[in-house]
Amino acid sequence: MAELLEQIIQIVRQAGDIVRSARDIAAGTKEKSFAGDLVTAYDLAVENFLKEKLPPLVPGSLFFGEEEKENADPSRGWAFIVDPIDGTANFVRDLRRSAISVALARDAVVEYGVVYDPYRDEMFSARRGGGAFLNGAPIHVSEKPLAQGIFSMGTSLYRPEYFQRTMRLTEQLFRRSCDFRRMGAAALDFCDVACGRTEAFFEYSLCPWDYAAGSLLVTEAGGAVCALDGGPLPVVSLSGAWASNRVNRDILKELEV
């Protein structure tokens, strides 16, 4: 329902105020598993706010967040899949390339997706079968082939076994494109494809909260998403991901992945 999407948007917009209010971020930052894996007091504040506000919109729904998963199984029934601050390393360094990502899935199928960049006040939203929007205006993927466009990529920081494969695929795509970017916030990378700013995006290992909302935005904007092996994105587990406009959806078949 359009009304439910609007309710999610309004809650996420309020959560953006928490991100914009951030001060002395380093003082509340901790390492989770290693130096590059960070969580801040603001990640936790945003997630707690969303955990309080979102589930009442859909009685009986689960909350599956990056920082607190409640031992939830998001593949059954209704589940909110949430990244409170996607691009935490950017956030800590005040690079202003971070976003709040919220997906609402039913039986492992994403029905609603919202990604909000509080710094640019850009609200990306989509409902299955209802199209994709940026601040209420319809968006669509580009129609450029990769030879006339650019792609973005992620380096799967938490999975060093993918480093060499990432660089190899990056080189192959770079030779076929005008340029590439590595911007450190996967949810926004999906949005860039959805609104035609880039022609494709890939990363070898993403969590559901990284790609659930963004994947719906891309498909509702006329693009394509898949796992790097060409299969469907699982939505509820770690996966590599490819997002692109329709022109470039099959380019992986020509490359060593």
The angle formed by the CA atoms of residues 206, 254 and 140, to the nearest 5 degrees, is: 60
The span from the CA of 60 to the CA of 5, in Å, is: 17
Instruction: Give yes or no for a contact between 148 and 60, defined as CB atoms under 8 angstroms apart.
Output: no
- Give how far the C-alpha of residue 130 lies from the chain's centroid of Cα atoms, to the nearest Å: 19
The per-residue pLDDT for 159 is 86
pLDDT in tens, 45-81: 999 999 999 999 999 999 998 766 555 678 889 999 9
Domain pair 2-138 / 146-254, same fold:
no
At the fourth CATH level, which superfamily is domain 2-138? Fructose-1,6-Bisphosphatase, subunit A, domain 1 (3.30.540.10)
Query: For the chain, which residues make up each domain, given as ranges?
Result: 2-138, 146-254
pLDDT in tens, 85-109: 999 989 999 999 999 999 999 999 9
Q: Strand, coil or helix: what is 205?
A: strand
Q: CB-hemisphere CA count at 13 Å for 153?
A: 22
Share of the chain above pLDDT 70, in %: 93
pTM exceeds 0.85 for this model: yes
pLDDT in tens, 1-57: 789 999 999 999 999 999 999 888 877 676 655 545 567 889 999 999 999 999 999
The angle formed by the CA atoms of residues 125, 116 and 147, to the nearest 5 degrees, is: 75
What element of type H or E holds 106? strand 99-106
Residue type for position 99:
A
The per-residue pLDDT for 68 is 65
Instruction: Give yes or no for a contact between 64 and 80, defined as CB atoms under 8 angstroms apart.
Output: yes
Q: Strand, coil or helix: what is 123?
A: strand
The per-residue pLDDT for 75 is 82
The per-residue pLDDT for 71 is 59
What is the residue whose two structure tokens read 């795509």?
A: 173
Residues 6+ apart with CB under 8 A from 13: 116, 123
CATH assignment, 146-254: 3.40.190.80
